[in-house]
Structure 1
């Protein structure tokens, strides 16, 4: 008989035999969280194909379809709109799919921006030390005294004061990504700094200096690959925080405009008619947001424990 493990490709054999894979498959909660996250992401990014309606195309809307209740909870429901409609006749299910996609795009992009800034500053701070380290860390300490949501509000407010409202709505996605990214870089910088201060005194870094490699090349080629573990854990956890921050800003009316609705925008629009008893407009987007963030946080907690050698 042929050994199944020897018939697998090399990379697949390494993955299935790793401690991380064993930790993943042995935790049913983590597997459920991963399945839920993948399902939400697939449905969101395939929304132009899978969504039953195009909810934010005015040409497809009809006010006569407005405020239809969920089909399973009321005899007045319509199977064409399984989760009901809002006051403009938009299908709630389709709105959630499109809104989730935008929330995920903002969340992923914000994490990438925060990682890029934090890793770069953390490498410089930890490798050079001295005045460079003191300056970067004091800036980080000052920013830590403010909640991330306030920093994002401040940055968004500055942009709004500089450009027109119409122009702001056109570039709202980029503004909110930059605002959230600039709010979350500190944790990456402090973590990378601590790891670099340990790594820079090891023999492989000393050898790279001896052969004449530049500090930039040493940091990028030799030091950075050895500090990525903690960064990946922070990025996974911060993805949920970034999505929540974007939803909060949009709910407050300073995030994404109604023409580019995220889950936060949908919750805000539903909140305006919540007192009239049309609860489904708010509850279903809020439940989707909660499920997405919970699943991502569970994956982040698992990854943190799986990469911790003390827990193996």
Structure 2
């Protein structure tokens, strides 16, 4: 009877009755983190609609509006709530558009690293032998280099190999590739370990008996059973990817100035920090800190909620 009632429930009802929702709804810190993350993501995605100004429309910029302090500070302009930067751009609008770039780079680099790492880990664990040994030795070598150093190396090689004009056009994708290629090892090692366990279970042996190919077994049977830890790693790595992009942009090797991210805004504001224009770097810095902190807290919660030992 209970099973039939549960079967008639919709996906929303089943989710609201799940342990995951119970854990989320009984964690005030997680709820606050989710609200902050959704607010920042929503503001970034809807920036073209809700931003008070278009900071990249040169026709609307006026250098006479440069270095306006926040509206509540003496001398502030009510039209610019968080003040303006050295080019007269509204800081609130610029932060919204900059967050779009940071989030886009973060999500794309995490997806790239996850696809690459999961694929290599699945192949290494399922095939084994020489393939496993070679892939894991490559992963071990990668772990000896810090992720930021790898990203800087990749960006430097691309800059040396491509003409400046071409690099500027694809700079955003270069940053995504550089961050993604430096973070695939975690996914590969985690998936490999789970695959080594799964491939010896009865359902895999049964699939082999009925004649399914190795590719079909890996993608249709093993992969769904090893994705749980991957989602947790992806959530935690999103915060790192956003921070890595900000670091690269702060160092001047990230996205181009024509597409400023939060890291670029912090770097620009840092030049004026000691001359009194503190808002140019403080507000983008606060936004970046809130974004990374909220994502990391959600990742920590998801890791604990999906861990059966903590239930």
Deviation at 1:272, TM superposition (A): 1.3
Corresponding residue for residue 35 of structure 1:
35
* 1:91-127 deviations in Å (ceiling 9; x for gaps): 0000000000110000000000000100000001000
Corresponding residue for residue 232 of structure 1:
231
Corresponding residue for residue 17 of structure 1:
17
Corresponding residue for residue 270 of structure 1:
269
1:1-312 to 2 correspondences below 5 Å: 9-72=9-72, 74-312=73-311
* 1:40-85 deviations in Å (ceiling 9; x for gaps): 101100000000001122111000000000111x220011100000
Give the TM-score normalised by the residue count of structure 2.
0.97
**Cα distance in 2 between the residues matched to 1:58 and 1:166:** 21
Q: Note closer, same or farther for the CA distance 1:80–1:9 as it changes in structure 2 (3 Å cut).
A: farther
Aligned-pair Cα RMSD in Å:
1.1
Q: Note closer, same or farther for the CA distance 1:76–1:9 as it changes in structure 2 (3 Å cut).
A: farther
* 1:192-245 deviations in Å (ceiling 9; x for gaps): 000000000000000011111111110000000001100000000000000000
**Cα distance in 2 between the residues matched to 1:156 and 1:57:** 29
**Cα distance in 2 between the residues matched to 1:90 and 1:228:** 44
Structure 1: gaps spanning 5 or more residues? none
Q: Secondary structure at the match of 2:183?
A: helix
Deviation at 1:89, TM superposition (A): 0.2
**Cα distance in 2 between the residues matched to 1:97 and 1:167:** 27
**Cα distance in 2 between the residues matched to 1:9 and 1:298:** 31
Greater than 3 Å deviation, 4+ residue runs: none
Deviation at 1:288, TM superposition (A): 0.1
Q: Secondary structure at the match of 1:171?
A: helix
**Cα distance in 2 between the residues matched to 1:117 and 1:207:** 28
Q: Secondary structure at the match of 1:85?
A: coil
**Cα distance in 1 between the residues matched to 2:67 and 2:233:** 41
**Cα distance in 2 between the residues matched to 1:110 and 1:20:** 27
**Cα distance in 1 between the residues matched to 2:60 and 2:166:** 26
Deviation at 1:9, TM superposition (A): 5.0
